[in-house]
Structure formats: structure tokens, C-alpha cells
Chain A
């Protein structure tokens, strides 16, 4: 989906559009940190700017027909202002730095939060910096006294894989609103889009005639195999509170079930559906088993992840789902 506001890529369809985008890609490569310079800034008068030129023409006619020296002077003053406006509008963007500060991972269909640091490499004030990823995700920033600022944008993550919200449009018409300078920013983002969770049958390889029983599995988790260091996000139920009271160290109990009690989620066991559906079901079960404090592992193609539990484990598995069978380059040039 192309955002509506893109004035150029939207106006030319088909081949022309592709040529333009390829040119943009070559001219403005991906980066995690971008400093705006003449290579990246485009500048043209906008509609009020064209109206202003029409006004200049009218004023010039008035000066000529009335042979009025001061109307000439006034017209020339406004006309001389135009190159100054261009310089000042350009100056408002040039020397500006933008860096990805944070990028969250999300499930497909949700909006990913992207936090950008904007800063200046000089001491000039910046005003009316309009950042837009699309119609619903835009914000305006200023750098007046502060040398840097942080902005947050939410971009919809439609497809599983690497988060790729396309180009960020940065534009400004400051100071006079008659000339628009803009740039297209492409960031190297590290956010992932996990599959959208879809409920389905538990995809485990069951012994013949033996239905997997969740309750039984949970009961089996009484045997503690050891402790490990607490990681932010671990369930409080698993924290070894007794040892915390004794030693002041926060640890998490680790369980060791017998081989038959470990759950191996298996890509090949998901019934029916295409690749994305299968991953979605696996995703659903990873979330569910984590919430139920189960031990779960994952067999995904060649890869096998040993059963365990905890937020880091969950995220590892989700990342595996997100990037499974994904040609990175293919995903990027979507």
C-alpha cells in the first residue's frame, strides 16, 4: 500500500514509478543514521508558492502600467525574497540528523512503534519538521533550544518478516510555506513482525493413541531442575521467592520434565493450510504455552529449539517463526 501523500511516486504509475523508486533507492541508500545534505534534500515551490509567483506577475503588471517606481521596488522586493526563501527552507532540513532509537517487534496486523532521535549538527534552530510514514502516522518536531528531540511513529506491520515500513517522508515548508523541501528516509530497522496468532490444534508429535494432555504436563513441572538468573519478563510464578528472601538474588525456577512430558511444537504437525497459516498456529501455541508456564520446544524445518520456558525463550522462538523461510533481500524490496 502506498501512502496517499507521496506526491511523486503516486502521480506516476507503472514503469515510471519503478524507475523513480530505483533511482531513489540508489540515491538514498538504507542506513540507521542519516544526516541530511544536498544529496538527500529535494526542494520545489509548492502550490501557494506558484500562487505567489502569479501574484508577482500581477504586481509587475501594476508597476509597468502605472509606471510607479515604488510598486516596482515592492515587486522586486518580493521577487528577491524568493531565492532567499529557497535557501532558508533548504537550511531548515540540511544538517539535520535522524537515527533510529528504538524499534519494537510486533505481531502481523498490529502497529509497530518506531522511535527516532532527531538532532542537529549545528546551532541553527529547526521548525516545522513534518515526519510522515503514512496518512495515519505523522508528527511534527521542532528544535529550538534543545539540540535533540525524540519522536514516535506507529507504522502498520502487515506482513510477517522483517519490519519494513517503506520510506519515511520528512518535509518542511518553514519559514514561509511557499517552498517545500523534503527527503525520503530509508532506515535499516531491526524490528521483526511475528506471525499473527491463529488458534488451531496443538501441533505436537504424539505417541500413537496418546492424546497430549495439558493438565498432565503442567503437573509434571513440579520437579525443579535448577535455577537461573531472572530476566525481565519472566513470570512471577516461576520466581524462586524463598531463595530470593534468603540470598537477595532473584532467580527463576527451571523445570525438568521427563522426556515424554516435554512438548515439541512441530511445524510438520500443523494440520492443513499454507506456510503462513502454519506459522500462525505455532505462534498461537508458543504464546499459550508460555502463558501456561509450560516447557515447549520447536521443530521448524531443519532447526530444533530445545524445550524451555521464559520470555527470552519465547522471543527466540517467535523470531525464528518471523524469519522462517524468508529471503531477506526479497522481503526488503517488497
Chain B
């Protein structure tokens, strides 16, 4: 049967299925492949309508070679998920081009079943999920069409049938989703890596953060156990830069050293001294493809693959390639590095000997005027506030002496200019200082009571080390543009109208529009719940859920529940779909005759499904000769009432009564 020719009625369905599977991958595919796939689909369609011939073996070989070359060109690393997905899709489309038999059609559907969920490795949004499940209906209907030998039914009958089937499978799917034990990965697999890194990188030059500010992508969401702290206090520390080469700020040590220096064990000492001021919160972090994570000043706990560096920043063991959930406790009062060791002190004072001479001179002059380090810090901040500095997303380009130019000439800059120049001046005056990069602020979603932090919330500030106070956060940007800290970047750049100016269609641009804004936040709240409860449903959440809501702890009881529910589902399925359909008999005459038939059946002679009343009576008489008269009477009356001439209702009911009496009499014998 499988080597039979593909039914013609299935072709259109196959074409739609191939398109439906390819569609979500379109923007990740090299253009060459996209064109090739399009050509294959058009070619096979022309063959179907008799306008072209099946491709020759040689042509097919050339196509495979061309496809492979394009994939080689398009992806640097051939072992990743993207090239693997591309190869699968290539097989899928080429199979479609050369399909002729039912066997080919089946293979295409099975490949489609496999290719479809690959989309989820790249995106698991609700919209994508709905798309995939609709595509599943299409693919399954195609399977019905492919395996038919003679197709008389229209598309709607099969489509309806498949939809009913998938909907009936839904309850069991939910049971399995919630209850089947989630085990850890069996072996490590390459993760989708084609995406560019997002968020702050591991270095900071003038203009870096300004370019981040153009992105309206989500960085992370935060849910606080208590009230959401004041926006001015929401400094999300990510990276600490101590090394400066005159233009670019970098962290100390190589990534490997950073990993080594971080403490990976759960820090229990801090947990014990719980303070009322401690902030408890959960972060849902979007993939950044970089290892660092963000926390409020200053994170106390780490664990579950997260390390705490000596600078009190957080490091993930590997780069964050998938959405990550982590719980944190931060203590805003914590004093860090109350004693600065000489090496750190030296490192945080280093500035290149050459260049920026004006700034160096300025720093020393000012320090000499000030009575203390603290006073000096205040003086410099005052300087920023009083001189005509502008906060701008479009700062002018700077030459080699970037600090000098910024401080005394251009005076237009973004947060990294302020943080960088401030730190430089502190160091030049002999005060240990460093740059901190992360996010500041965030958008409160009242419908979900959580905080959204976007890429445009990226920020840079400074930390100076003061005697008896340790590292102290200083944000010079706040002196120039206090609205940046209080209300966010949109307000701070309102005068130059540069906020998200490149992305006209970003809903975030229209935050002023109350209705649109509410809609966007409502949708985001749904997405957030989706991420937390559905996508984030892992082994830990599963065991928490089963314990908290169902009180199940032992694996035996979980297995029992799973088995019980599966059995229940199967029984329900049979009851719903296999119950006997009762044909309702409304005619009194038929009712009586069926009563007679049932009576005879109990006595051992059943009427055949299409046996006429007269034929049946013949058989009955042979068997029950004693009741011959009665049987013949009943049959005659039934035939007369059913097939005889029209009679008036009065007569009819009289005969019916007689029929009933006759049957009752027969029953007594």
C-alpha cells in the first residue's frame, strides 16, 4: 500500500504543510536557501499540474550539493543547532520535491512532525506555541489525506475529525506535562547560538551604552516579595570595570580568572543575619548569550550555578543561552571592602600616564581645594551640575584625549561618559574608583505587579572607595539629568526626541498613549506568567508544585497519580467515543414492534438487521409453532399500520391498542 501513488487530493495539503513548517524558520535562514526552497516548492507544484517534469537524478544531486554549500557558507560552526535544523529542513524540502508515493508522503509528514518543534528551541512565546499547534492540525490532516486510497470526503470532514482528535488528546497532554518526571539532560547538546549577544558587553568605550539604549528588547523581569523599591534605588549591578587604557574600560582579570575567583557555594553566613531591609526578589532573565547576571546592591546569596565575584557581581557558570530564573536576596546596607587590600587599591588608582593632562591637572587642583575625599566627591558632582553638561543619546565623537575633550569642550554625553570621566578624575586625585555597568530603573507593570527592565535601561555609574564607608555608589549622570534616574531615559532624552527613534513600530515608543500602554503591559503580564509557569516548569518547579498543591512528595505517590489519571482518561475516551448510539424511535407502532422483537430475542430468535417483518415471522413460526396465530397477528397489524393505506387516527389507535394487547399476551405464554 505504501508504494502506491500519492493520492492527488493530498498534494495541496502537503504543500501547505511544508510551508507551515518552513515559515517560522524563514528569518533564520540564509537567503540562498530560502530561494532554493521556494524553487523546489514551485517546481513540485508545476509537476503536479503537469506543467513540468520530475527532476532528473543529476539535478537532484546538484541541488543537494548546492544546498549543503549554502549551509556551510551560512553557518560558521556546522555542529550547532542552526545548521542541523537547516540540514533537516533541506531533507524535508527535497523529499517534497521528489515525492511520488504514499511512502514519500509519510516520510514528509514525519520529518515535518520532527522539524516543527525545532522552532521552540529559538522561540517559545505564546504566539509561537499557538502557531505550532495550528500547524500540527494541518500536518495531521495531511497525514489523513496521504494515507487514503480513495478520497471521497471533502477537506472539512477530515479537518474536523483531526481537530476533534487533537482536542480529545489535550487533557492527557496536560496530565503528562504536569506529572511526567522531568529528568536532567542525558547528554550536553549544542544550543542555538546564531543570535547576537545582547546587553552590556565585557568592555565599555564611549558610545557603547548609547547604542544599547536604542534597543527596546526586554532584558529581564523582576518580581519582588515585598513592595517594589523606589526607582532611584534600582541599580542593577552587572559588571565592574577596574582597568582603563585611556579609552576603554575593562574588568580585571580574564573571564577564566573571574570564574575562578567567584565563590560558587551558597553563602550561608549572610543568610542567617536576615535584616528587615533585605530585598527578596526573583529575576526572570532573557537569554543574553553572556555569562553575567544582574542584581541590586549587594547580592548576598548565590547558588544553583551562579557565582558571586569578589566585586559582588553575579556570574553564571556558562553564558545564558536560555531564559533563566533565579531567586536573590540583596542587602542595600552591606558595606563591601571595608578594608581595601593594597593590590586592589593600586589597581583602582591606575590611569594611563600619557594623555588627558587637563583632566589630571583639574583633579589635583580640585582635590587640594577640598577638605576631605568626601568633600572632593561632592565638589566634582557640583561641577557636573553647574557647568553646561548635556545628557544626550547622540554625543559628538571624541578624539584620543577623550576625557579632556568631554570634560572641557563637548560636554555632551551619555552615562558612560559621565561615569568614565568621573572615575578618571577620582583616580587622578588618588581616590580608588571604578566603573559599574548594569541597568538602572525599570518599568512597573501594575497589572502583574512586577518590574520590566529593558535594554534601553542600560546604565553606567561609578563607585569610589572611601575610608570607613567602603565602596560607595556615585552616579554623576544624576547630577546632569536627574530625570534619567527618577523617570528613565525617555524623559531624560525628551528634549532631543531621540528615544527609540530608529524603531517607529515599537509599542514602547508610545508609552504616552495610555490605552496602548495598558494593553502592552497587560500582554506582557500574560507573557510573564507564561514564562514563569509554563516555560519555567522544570524539575524543581514540578516537585514544588506537587508538594504545595497536591501534597505529593514520594515518587511512588506521583506515579500512582499519573497512572490513575491516564487510566481515567482512557476510560473517559472510550465512554465518549464508543458508546452505542441509540436511535430514537418516536413512532408508537415501531416502538411496539421493537418491543416484540426484543421479546423474541430473549426467546432465542433475533431479527436480522435488515430482515423484513414477514420474513422474520416465517422464521419465528418455524420455531414457535404454538404461538403461530399470535405471531402472524402481530406481524399483520404491524405491516398494516406501517405500509397499509392511510386510516383515521381513531382507527389507528384502536389497532395500536390491539397490537399492544397481543404482544402482552404473547409475553405471558
Contact = CB atoms under 8 A, between A and B. Distances in A.
Given A55-B113, A84-B573, A175-B144, A66 B166 contact: no
A76 B177 contact: yes
B403 interface: no
Given A69-B534, A74-B117, A88 B144 contact: no
Interface string B83-121: 000000000000000000000001000100110110011
A55 B132 contact: no
Given A64-B186, A84-B573, A88-B165, A78 B124 contact: no
Interface stretch (A21-29, A124-132, A264-272): A124-132
Interface residues of B, number: 67
A174 B536 CA distance: 38
Contact of A81 (B152, B165, B188): B165
A122 B162 contact: no
Nearest to A62: B117
Contact of B536 (A69, A73, A75, A119): A69
Contact of B106 (A70, A140, A177): A177
Most chain A beta-carbon neighbours within 10 Å: one of B120, B161, B162, B574: B120
A69 B537 contact: yes
A97 interface: yes
A277 to B, nearest CB: 41
A122 B581 contact: yes
Given A66-B121, A69-B534, A99-B609, A84 B147 contact: no
B148 interface: yes
Contact of A58 (B114, B140, B608): B114
A80 B172 contact: yes
Nearest to B538: A67
B576 to A, nearest CB: 9
Interface in B162-189: 162, 165-166, 168-173, 176-177, 180, 182-189
Given A65-B187, A142-B152, A73 B173 contact: yes
A77 B136 contact: yes
Contact of B183 (A51, A64, A75, A125): A64
Interface string A54-94: 01001101101111111111111111110111011011001
A173 B149 CA distance: 10
A52 to B, nearest CB: 7
A70 B183 contact: no
Contacts of A33: 608-610
Given A123-B581, A175-B165, A74 B144 contact: no
A225 interface: no
A70 B578 contact: no
B158 interface: yes
A176 B169 contact: no
B399 to A, nearest CB: 48
A121 interface: yes
Interface in B129-148: 129, 132-133, 136, 140, 143-144, 146-148
A276 interface: no
Contact of A71 (B121, B136, B169, B570): B121
Contacts of B188: 65
Interface in A166-187: 173-178
Contacts of A73: 129, 173, 177, 534
A256 interface: no
B570 A83 contact: yes
B176 A125 contact: no
B173 A76 contact: yes
B273 interface: no
Interface string A28-65: 00000101000000000001100110010011011011
Contacts of A75: 117
A122 B578 CA distance: 11
B549 interface: no
B157 interface: yes
B25 to A, nearest CB: 15
A110 interface: no
A178 B162 CA distance: 13
Contacts of A90: 578
Contacts of A122: 580-581, 583
A259 B370 CA distance: 156
A85 B165 contact: yes
A121 B140 contact: no
A237 B70 CA distance: 84
B150 interface: yes
Contacts of A84: 165, 168-169, 573
Contact of A59 (B114, B183, B583): B114
Contacts of A91: 577-578
Contacts of A173: 147
A128 B534 contact: no
A117 interface: yes
A81 B121 contact: no
A70 B535 contact: yes
A33 B168 CA distance: 34
A79 B2 CA distance: 23
A175 to B, nearest CB: 5
A87 B153 contact: no
Contacts of B583: 122
A173 B116 CA distance: 24
Contacts of B536: 69
B52 interface: no
A99 B182 CA distance: 53
Contact of B176 (A61, A80, A130): A80
B177 A72 contact: yes
Contacts of B113: 55, 59, 78
Nearest to A32: B608
A94 B183 CA distance: 41
B148 A128 contact: yes
Contacts of B177: 72-73, 76
B610 A99 contact: yes
A66 B189 contact: yes
B191 interface: yes
A332 interface: no
Interface string B191-212: 1000000000000000000000
Contacts of A52: 110
Contact of B573 (A62, A64, A83, A121): A83
Nearest to A148: B610
B306 to A, nearest CB: 17
A304 interface: no
A119 to B, nearest CB: 7
Given A85-B165, A177-B147, A68 B609 contact: no
Interface string A105-146: 000000000000101011111011010000000001010100
A221 B133 CA distance: 84
B153 A127 contact: yes
A28 to B, nearest CB: 17
A273 to B, nearest CB: 43
Interface string B528-545: 000000111110000000
B582 to A, nearest CB: 9
Contacts of A123: 581
21 contacts: A48-B2, A48-B106, A62-B117, A64-B182, A70-B117, A73-B534, A74-B120, A76-B173, A77-B169, A77-B173, A80-B169, A83-B172, A91-B578, A99-B609, A99-B610, A119-B609, A121-B609, A122-B581, A175-B165, A177-B146, A177-B147
Which 7 interchain pairs have the tightest Cβ spacing?
A: A177-B147, A80-B172, A80-B169, A122-B581, A76-B176, A70-B120, A74-B117
Interface of B: 2, 106, 110, 113-114, 116-117, 120-121, 124, 128-129, 132-133, 136, 140, 143-144, 146-150, 152-153, 157-158, 161-162, 165-166, 168-173, 176-177, 180, 182-189, 191, 322, 534-538, 569-570, 573-574, 577-578, 580-581, 583, 608-610
